């Protein structure tokens, strides 16, 4: 049984201008010990998914669908159960750790807080656990007594990771955990995450806009565009052989140094990622797609199988073509 199973997730924000569909029908599945990467640009809905999984979205946001965590429906949980589940079964590493830490509280106390809230241990035992957590993330134990401002960006992020591990969760949601960091520190943190994942057998949902980072850490990749997953499959296949033109374009934005074909040949997409309030008809990607054809503005593709474990929402996928043909001969194509 998979650890996390999301089906038909829809999230609508309520704004002054009306409801804004941030997530429009997403299915996600993460098994024990598996690392899934979720990539996409601004406005695609990936951070919304992170919030939805633990019901951390602003009140009034409409969330429909089913989110099963270890078989339990998160959306139906009573507040008491939800609070118990938060952090002990699933925890989050946020973007911008600098702001997530209380500046007037010592770092060790903040980690302890997580343990004590969930009554996982008494005070003395908690302190010992905090010490060992810090060592696990590569910080010396004496850092327990430091205040956040005494730590560097990378060190603060390590503290956030320690905090996420505090209650032995089985799933960690990492939302842009390395975006604000320097490349070298980013590499250190990624390495740390990978090691911890192996050591504790953690499942991870790794959310970022930086596709190249995901290649290093993830088993599977899902690419989001305009509130939907447009491609999903094994990380190597999705990145290097992308079936969806958007993935191809996104991957091209992270060129491999040393490959001549990228030299003086920047490639990007015209236009901009669409606003959720203002989505194009048919395939939402078609206005920017380099290989769009006549059917694209009229048909909104679902995820078609490229291989059984790899799917893409594009009419150019082989299995889609046969369906298109079928639709045309039946005369129901527009």
Chain residues that interact with other proteins, rule: CB under 8 A: 15-16, 41-42, 152, 154, 182-188, 190-191, 194, 209-213, 215-217, 235-236, 239, 246, 249-250, 252-258, 262-273, 275, 278, 287-288
Q: Which of 91, 88, 79, 95 is nearest to 53 (CA)?
A: 91
Neighbours of 242 (CB within 10 A): 23
Least distance in Å: CB of 182 to other proteins? 5
Which residue lies nearer to other proteins by CB, 42 or 319? Answer: 42
Least distance in Å: CB of 13 to other proteins? 10
Least distance in Å: CB of 264 to other proteins? 5
Residue 223 in tokens: 């690419």
**What is the H or E stretch that residue 251 is in?**
helix 245-252
80 CB contacts (<8 Å, ≥6 apart)?
Answer: none
Least distance in Å: CB of 42 to other proteins? 6
Q: Is residue 57 within 8 Å of residue 11, measured between CB atoms?
A: yes
- Dist CA 201 CA 4 (whole Å): 15
Which residue lies nearer to other proteins by CB, 36 or 53? Answer: 36
- Dist CA 131 CA 135 (whole Å): 6
Which residue lies nearer to other proteins by CB, 75 or 253? Answer: 253
Least distance in Å: CB of 183 to other proteins? 6
Q: Is residue 231 within 8 Å of residue 311, measured between CB atoms?
A: yes
Which residue lies nearer to other proteins by CB, 6 or 44? Answer: 44
Q: Is residue 100 within 8 Å of residue 160, measured between CB atoms?
A: yes
Least distance in Å: CB of 71 to other proteins? 33
Which residue lies nearer to other proteins by CB, 108 or 154? Answer: 154
- Dist CA 44 CA 211 (whole Å): 14
Which residue lies nearer to other proteins by CB, 92 or 235? Answer: 235
Which residue lies nearer to other proteins by CB, 123 or 259? Answer: 259
From residue 173, give the alpha-carbon distance in Å to each of 50, 241, 285: 7, 26, 27
Q: Is residue 12 within 8 Å of residue 21, measured between CB atoms?
A: yes
Least distance in Å: CB of 28 to other proteins? 22
- Dist CA 312 CA 68 (whole Å): 24
């Amino acid at each position: 049984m998979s650890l996390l199973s999301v089906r038909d997730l829809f999230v609508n924000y309520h704004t002054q201008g009306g409801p804004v569909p941030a997530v429009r029908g997403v299915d996600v599945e993460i098994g024990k010990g598996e690392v899934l990467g979720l990539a996409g640009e601004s406005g695609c809905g990936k951070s919304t998914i992170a919030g939805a999984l633990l019901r951390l979205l602003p009140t009034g946001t409409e969330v429909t669908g089913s989110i099963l965590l270890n078989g339990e429906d998160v959306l139906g949980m009573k507040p008491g159960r939800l609070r118990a589940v938060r952090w002990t079964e699933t925890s989050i590493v946020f973007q911008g750790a600098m702001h997530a830490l209380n500046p007037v509280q010592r770092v060790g106390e903040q980690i302890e807080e997580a343990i004590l809230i969930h009554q996982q241990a008494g005070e003395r035992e908690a302190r010992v656990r905090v010490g060992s957590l810090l060592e696990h993330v590569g910080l010396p134990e004496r850092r327990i007594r430091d205040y956040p401002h005494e730590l560097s960006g990378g060190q603060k992020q390590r503290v956030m990771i320690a905090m996420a591990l505090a209650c032995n969760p089985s799933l960690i949601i990492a939302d842009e955990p390395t975006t604000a960091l320097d490349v070298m520190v980013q590499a250190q943190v990624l390495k740390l995450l990978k090691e911890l994942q192996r050591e504790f057998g953690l499942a991870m949902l790794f959310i970022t806009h930086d596709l190249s980072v995901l290649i290093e850490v993830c088993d599977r990749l899902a690419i989001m565009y305009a509130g939907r997953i447009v491609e999903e499959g094994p990380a190597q296949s999705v990145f290097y052989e992308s079936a969806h033109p958007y993935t191809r374009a996104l991957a091209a934005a992270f060129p491999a140094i040393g490959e001549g074909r990228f030299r003086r040949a920047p490639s990007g997409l015209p236009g901009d990622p669409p606003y959720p309030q203002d989505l194009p008809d048919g395939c939402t990607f078609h206005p920017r797609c380099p290989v769009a054809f006549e059917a694209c503005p009229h048909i909104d593709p679902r995820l078609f199988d490229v291989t059984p474990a790899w799917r893409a929402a594009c009419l150019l996928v082989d299995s889609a073509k046969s369906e298109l043909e079928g639709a045309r001969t039946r005369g129901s194509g527009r």
